[in-house]
Structure 1
Amino acid sequence: MIVVTGATGNVGRHVVDELVAAGAEVRALTRDPESARLPEGVEVARTADLPLDGADAVFLNPAVVWGTGAGELLRKAGQAGVRRIVTLSSSAAAEPGPGNVIGNHHHELETEIEASGLVWTHVRPGAFASNALQWAEQLGKGDVVHGPYAQAHTAPIHEADIAAVAARALLSEDYAGQAPVLTGPQSLTFAEQVTIIGEVLGRPLRYEEIPPEAAREAMTGGGVPADIADTLLRLFAGAVGRPAEISPETERITGRPGRTFAQWASDHSAAFS
């Protein structure tokens, strides 16, 4: 039995699909089991109950333990006889320190898990391609995205590729003790990403840069905590004119190249219509 937390989220839903395709027995945890719409044969349970009985492995979405730590989950995992845990972490965890709120959080979670005695793998994606969904509202109203640092580079990764790596780590111990950094196959600026979305939609879209102060106000006004907004803007500023490093880990682990951003945009085109 493999337990998947955050099973209806961007990554977790794909993890469930990967495990089902591999013939694994899956228990999917979600806040609202009644609306989960998961594949037939998947056991669905409530996240708050953390039912880990009979489980051999757990996929941990950090949102489940954000602000509380993984202590309760790890305690229950130990009692239930869980052997290994695969953490959805972040590439930022590799460089914790002052001003890196995102990296610090993930690093602390990784450290807590490593101290538990469980066999662990930390999956460390960089920028999610799904971050582009933040532009959907603007593109629903017009053909311009307003945002900071138009020439900042990232290598956005399709959430299905993150899930494919996580599933392989859940299904075997071949990646035990590893923390693979995952990226997409291309370094793209924010402006280039918007152009690609436009090509997929058949619309001439463009990215119009705004001052970071205005971007910060929009982010915090939309519910992003101020310290996270500051961390993101600092990272974006440092990425201007600097192509992102492409990791080989997705292809090494899955045996195939990662999906392109154009593929991601095609898969999610309805969100921008």
Structure 2
Amino acid sequence: MIVITAPTGDIGGKVLRTLLDHHPEEALRVIVRDPAKLPQSVTDRVDVIVGSHADPDVIDRAFQGADAVFWLVPPDPHAPSLDAAFSGFTAAAAQRFATSGVGNVVGVSALGRGTAVADRAGLVTASLAMDDLLSASGVAYRALANPSFMENILRQLDSIRDDGIYTDTVTPDRMAPSAATGDIAAAAVRLLTDRSWSGTGSVAVLGPHDVSAEDMAAVMSEVLGRPVRYERESYEALAARLTGFGLGEAFVTGMVDMMRAKDQGLDDGVPRTPETASPTTFRQWCQEVLLPAVHASTTTGVK
């Protein structure tokens, strides 16, 4: 039995779909706040536990008879602190892994461990602390150490489509890894279905090559057939924009600190090898994800 948290999110949803499509021999259970977000074709094939995976009663029910768990902490932009958002959310599960019978846990985390900026990287620092908490629980644990997601660009769909502008805070020509969430989900599925591994550690998902923000804008221009330029945003402007969306102070500060750390080498600590490289190029992602999203939003008139 594999337990999947956050099954309606981007990565969790892809983990669930891949297991359903390619590993029908696996019994699956999901923890979901709103089961209505799952299609009937899914709920007919999985055991559904309704609630939050921060809730001790929910995870007691979910972990019963389980062999492996996919652990993803949903973002909480209104948490009082980053420790509460990550380790606090995970605390009940970490306490129960040692006695629940769960053998293997795969968590979604971030690159940065061992770098000079790991202790001042905001959201990433909190995520690495969560990894330490899970590693100390006694369960076999693998943290998926990820760079920025290519899918984050979809948040700027309107700006890219309407204004030809892609925005970030990184130095324009700074080369860095970037990963497609489908590749992250695939790495999780490999670990969840193997379960022969033990101990604790991390598995990096780096994409096939580094890319800069300027490179991304150039590739988007070519794939979309329209000019897209990169505009660098200041950290102050990012903080003001996020605060304007109503996000809490801890989350805003954590996001700004993370983005500053990324520009100072947070994602540079793991070399790319055949084991850490993932297959989806940024161009392929633009062709398979961004371009259809732009076309769909244009056709439906979504702004």
TM-score, normalising length from structure 2?
0.77
Matched, 1:19 2:19: yes
2:272 counterpart residue number? 246
2:202 is paired with a residue whose SS is: coil
**Is structure 2 residue 166 aligned with structure 1 residue 145?**
yes
Tell me the CA shift for residue 124 of structure 1: 0.9
For residue 45 of structure 2, what is the aligned residue in structure 1?
41
Asked if 1 retains the 8 angstrom alpha-carbon contact of 2:71 and 2:107, the reply is yes
Q: For residues 131-184 of structure 1, what are the alpha-carbon distances to aligned partners after superposition, in whole Å with 9 as ceiling and x for unaligned?
A: 212321312432122443322332111111111111111112344333122211
Using the alignment, how far apart are the partners of 2:112 and 2:152 within structure 1?
16
Structure 2 stretches lacking a partner, 5+ long: 53-57, 76-84, 298-303
1:55 is the counterpart of 2:66: yes
Q: Distance in 1 between matches of 2:140 and 2:132?
A: 13
Report what 2:92 is aligned to. 72
The worse-fitting range, judged by mean Cα deviation, of 90-99 and 125-134 is 90-99
1:271 corresponds to: 293
Question: Would the alpha carbon gap of residues 215 and 151 (structure 1) be closer, same or farther in structure 2, given more than 3 Å must change?
Answer: farther
Q: Specify the SS of the correspondent of 1:153.
A: coil
1:158-216, CA deviations, whole angstroms, 9 ceiling, x for partnerless residues? 11111111111111234433312221112111122122223222222111234443334
State yes or no: 1:128 paired with 2:149. yes
1:70-110 C-alpha deviation (Å, 9 max, x unpaired)? 22123444454212211111112444754222232122211
Q: Does 1:8 align with 2:8?
A: yes
Structure 1 residue 227 and structure 2 residue 256: aligned?
Answer: no
Contact 2:143–2:201 (8 Å) recurs in 1: yes
Identity %: 24
Correspondence for 2:300 = none
Work out which of the residue numbers 66, 74, 88 in structure 1 matches 2:108: 88
Secondary structure, aligned partner of 1:63: coil
Secondary structure, aligned partner of 2:70:
strand
Give how far 1:266 is off: 2.4
Q: Distance in 2 between matches of 1:150 and 1:236?
A: 13
Residue 82 of structure 2 aligns with which residue?
none
RMSD after superposition: 2.8
Q: Among residues 159, 162, 165, which one is paired with 2:181 in the alignment?
A: 159
- C-alpha distance in structure 2 between counterparts of 1:266 and 1:44, whole Å: 34
Match of 2:55 in 1: none
Q: Which amino acid aligns with 2:257?
A: T
Contact 1:144–1:205 (Cα < 8 Å) also in 2: yes
Q: Pick from 227, 240, 247 the counterpart of residue 204 of structure 1.
A: 227
Q: Would you say how many aligned residue pairs link Structure 1 and Structure 2?
A: 267
Matched letter for residue 195 of structure 1: A
- Answering whether residue 216 of structure 2 is matched by residue 193 of structure 1, we say yes
Would you say the 8 A contact 1:94–1:103 is kept in 2?
no
Q: Deviations over 1:211-246 (max 9, x none)?
A: 44333422443437232233233234325xx9x953
Alignment correspondent of 2:80: none
**Judging changes above 3 Å, is the alpha-carbon distance between structure 1 residues 4 and 94 closer, same or farther for their aligned structure 2 residues?**
farther
Q: Is the 2:168–2:231 Cα contact (8 Å) retained in structure 1?
A: yes
Deviation of the 1:248 alpha carbon: 3.2
CA contact (8 A) 1:69 1:109 kept: no
Query: What TM-score results when the alignment is normalised by the length of structure 1?
Result: 0.85
Structure 1 distance, partners of 2:153, 2:161, is 13
Bigger shift: 61-70 or 202-211? 61-70
Q: 1:217 to 1:3 in 2, by over 3 A?
A: same
Provide closer, same or farther for how the CA distance between residues 3 and 132 of structure 1 changes in structure 2, counting only shifts above 3 A. same
Give the alignment partner of residue 33 of structure 2, picking from 23, 31, 34: 31
Q: Secondary structure at the match of 1:178?
A: strand
- Conserved 8 A contact 1:135-1:145: yes
The one of 151, 158, 171 equivalent to 2:193 is: 171
Match of 1:218 in 2: 241
